[in-house]
Structure 1
Amino acid sequence: MTIKPSIKKSKIIIRRWREDDIAGLVQCQKSVYQSDFPTDSAHDRRLFELEFKKFPEGQVLAESNGMVVGYACAIIVQLDDSQPYYTYSEITGDSTFSTHDPSGDTLYGADIAVHPDYRGSGIAGMLYSQRMRIMKRYNLRRMVAHGRLPNYHKYVGQFTPEQYVAEVKERRILDPALIAHYKAGYVVKAILFDQLVDRSSMNYTTWLEKINPEFSDTKRRIASTPIKRPVRRIRVCTAQCELKNISSWDEFKRNVVYFVNTAASYHCHFLLFPELFTLQLLGLLDSQASIQNNLKELATLIQRYKDLFQELAQSRGLYIIAGTHPVLRNGKVFNTAFLFTPTGRAYEQDKLHISRSERSTYAFNPGEAIRVFDTPMARIAILVSYDIEFPEVSRLLVKYGAEVLFVPFATDERKAYSRIRFCAHARAVENCVYVVIAGNVGNLAQADSLMINYAQSAIITPSDFAFPTNSVEAEADANTETVAIAELDISNLLLQRDIGTVRPLFDLRVDLFETQSKVPIEVIRCD
């Protein structure tokens, strides 16, 4: 790298942050990471302010001619060494530094960055020196950090991440971030995958540690509680609904309330209904009209449908994936799934893939948006029926954090059902993700394509020693109106992605192929 003469001569000042530095910090971060991270992953002003307020002594920057040209963030934490490696979000409280613990024994380096125009001028070394001073000043046992591998994308086909790190250590390959960590005295303890979405590093991250040789244990005999990885368990219920010829809205409501009350009585967090189970309401419409006209008429009931499920989700404290219901937009009909939250909010996910029969029979149109719903219990996504048969979508959703895939479906006979079931198992194995499927049973004379139904709803797991032998946590009896309920351990799922017998997400040959979305993946934070 060639450094401009004007930059060479400029004086670099290393100091702590001040409140009026926040705008400059935001701008510096954008300059550093704009090509490597999704725009939604960058800090906003609020997060920098939270970090500064929580531990101002740990936040330093480099300044040149009044401009922020580098910065380093750190907090003190107490980690449990018996636990597997922590994620960035776990240690930093999702970048808020709410986990800062003055009685801890570890300095965590949350971020360090140098403006591209000032790299090679020794700023990184000066910032690391400040971190060392903080570690010694507070008599901390060690420093730890997650590190990037920004040049790994150039060598991904030649070396595994472990081999690449070894090559950089011997200086046979140049990686500016890793070499800077080595110069600072860090040791690479592990290589992790999918800690961050980082294109240049191919989503690989190093876990780094530097021991404080001056640490005095006798000076730090203060009882402290380590950050424990939260045990995240959710209980899910999949409703296997029998389609019936009903004569009133109240009759439909009674059927819905039955399943909601069942899920609530078993203390479930999530309840899944089948695809198009609201077609029972066709019995309230003109039996002589075409199915396509009736679907448009059914779409006019959308507000009653939403009001019903919003009230039930709120009153029962449930996250309800309320199957799908026809939605009319600009004269086009979409097969849309809805997520209703305990706070009364409603979120939509259109069916993305429309089969030949759905186009001809229902005139459904395909959706465009791909969404992950970040709930306090788990990150979930909804794939409507046929969507589960396309592995690319599931892989994209998991890349953006999905932990459970909910699949409402409607299939008429055993072979159609088997396509859904087998693909659900495949997606669970490929992505180390839970998959919950819910289908209809019974018959519905008003809808030609739903005259018969076959379903065996199930809650499906990956296939490894930590999960059931048949990779099924629970399943309903076939072709019977009932529910299946199971408890899913989200913490264990994420752990198995790192330590499982096979690690499909870790072992991807991204040098040969890559799954990319042509539209932004929306991560929606739900209350």
Structure 2
Amino acid sequence: MMTPEDALPSYYKSCYVFHNRTPYPAIVRSYTQKDFERLIEIQRAAFPPPYPSELWWNTEQLHEHITRFPQGALCIEINGVLAGSMTSLLIDFDPDHPQHTWEEVTDNGYIRNHQPTGDTLYIADLCVHPSYRQWGLGKLLMQSMYEVVTAMGLTRLLGAGRMPGYHQVAQDYTPQQYVEAITQGTVYDPVISFLLRCGRTPLTIIKDYLDDEESLHYAVLMEWKNPLLIARNLKG
């Protein structure tokens, strides 16, 4: 296994993001040990109570991320300031048995169950500092993970999205009806609607995915399939 000193950035992209019509230089790269303190600060700011504080990253978890799968441990800088991150691992996904919890699929965030030969990139976390929301950073991070999926020849990107708006309308909708209303455009959810805009599609509802009062502990399993493999299969 690599040491932190060996875990040099294995993903690096320089581009621009726009805020109020002004372009700002951005870098998406694999995060390293020197980023840990800021990454934890971003977690605190991005997920305030009632989100459980024990689900914020800790240094041991971040160490596992950069040693086991640095290609899937990405952060984004704006003018040199770390503004967000996205973390993933590889798994073998069985579409016939999609139910799981966040703790199970991510090894409680330590990703020691990362499978280097897995066919699916699973998103463990995506967060952006509140000061940089509405900058399009979450979508840029998601697009970067799509690039990892295609570069590695994986089948899909997969992850379960919180549905934080659900508690406000739970008396009117079942979880399935809530997701259907979102896809029909009659209901907006800050997380699920965002993932739809990023190109993700819903697969199923997961019950008790995470200790998440706003979502009433539900989540929506959503995927993005590798379009290069789909095209190859259509030809074949």
Category of TM-score, reference length = shorter chain: 0.7 to 0.9
CA offset at residue 111 of structure 1?
0.9
1-side partners of 2:224 and 2:50: how far apart? 26
Q: Deviations over 1:320-345 (max 9, x none)?
A: xxxxxxxxxxxxxxxxxxxxxxxxxx
Given that 2:75 and 2:82 are in contact with CA atoms closer than 8 Å, whether structure 1 keeps it comes out as yes
Alignment counterpart, residue 128 of structure 1, candidates 133, 142, 147: 142
CA offset at residue 8 of structure 1?
5.8
Aligned equivalent of 1:459: none
Residue 35 (structure 2) pairs with residue 21 (structure 1)? yes
Higher relative contact order (CA 8 A, sep 6+): 2
Given that 2:28 and 2:75 are in contact with CA atoms closer than 8 Å, whether structure 1 keeps it comes out as yes
CA offset at residue 65 of structure 1?
3.6
Q: Deviations over 1:18-37 (max 9, x none)?
A: 22011111110111112242
Aligned equivalent of 1:155: 169
Aligned equivalent of 1:192: 206
Aligned equivalent of 2:160: 146
Paired residue secondary structure (1:15): strand
2-side partners of 1:146 and 1:118: how far apart? 23
Residue 121 (structure 2) pairs with residue 107 (structure 1)? yes
Paired residue secondary structure (2:86): strand
Paired residue secondary structure (1:130): helix
Larger of the two Rg values belongs to structure: 1
1-side partners of 2:135 and 2:151: how far apart? 26
Aligned equivalent of 2:181: 167
Given that 2:164 and 2:214 are in contact with CA atoms closer than 8 Å, whether structure 1 keeps it comes out as yes
Given that 1:150 and 1:176 are in contact with CA atoms closer than 8 Å, whether structure 2 keeps it comes out as yes
CA offset at residue 6 of structure 1?
8.6
Aligned equivalent of 1:179: 193
CA offset at residue 135 of structure 1?
0.2
Paired residue secondary structure (1:176): coil
Aligned equivalent of 1:214: 228
Unmatched runs of 5 consecutive residues or more in structure 1: 219-527
Given that 1:153 and 1:200 are in contact with CA atoms closer than 8 Å, whether structure 2 keeps it comes out as yes
Unmatched runs of 5 consecutive residues or more in structure 2: 1-18
Q: Deviations over 1:295-330 (max 9, x none)?
A: xxxxxxxxxxxxxxxxxxxxxxxxxxxxxxxxxxxx
Aligned equivalent of 1:86: 100
Written as runs of structure 1 = structure 2, the 5 A alignment for 1:295-310 is none
Given that 1:151 and 1:200 are in contact with CA atoms closer than 8 Å, whether structure 2 keeps it comes out as yes
Pick closer, same or farther for the CA change 1:81–1:168 going to 2, 3 Å. Answer: closer
CA offset at residue 196 of structure 1?
0.6
2-side partners of 1:166 and 1:192: how far apart? 15
Written as runs of structure 1 = structure 2, the 5 A alignment for 1:432-443 is none
Residue 90 (structure 2) pairs with residue 76 (structure 1)? yes
Pick closer, same or farther for the CA change 1:103–1:119 going to 2, 3 Å. Answer: same
1-side partners of 2:75 and 2:204: how far apart? 28
2-side partners of 1:9 and 1:127: how far apart? 17
Q: Deviations over 1:254-306 (max 9, x none)?
A: xxxxxxxxxxxxxxxxxxxxxxxxxxxxxxxxxxxxxxxxxxxxxxxxxxxxx
Number of corresponding residues: 214
TM-score (norm 2): 0.83
Pick closer, same or farther for the CA change 1:72–1:161 going to 2, 3 Å. Answer: same
What is the letter of the counterpart of residue 86 of structure 1? H
Written as runs of structure 1 = structure 2, the 5 A alignment for 1:373-412 is none
Paired residue secondary structure (1:103): coil
Q: Deviations over 1:474-515 (max 9, x none)?
A: xxxxxxxxxxxxxxxxxxxxxxxxxxxxxxxxxxxxxxxxxx
Aligned equivalent of 1:118: 132
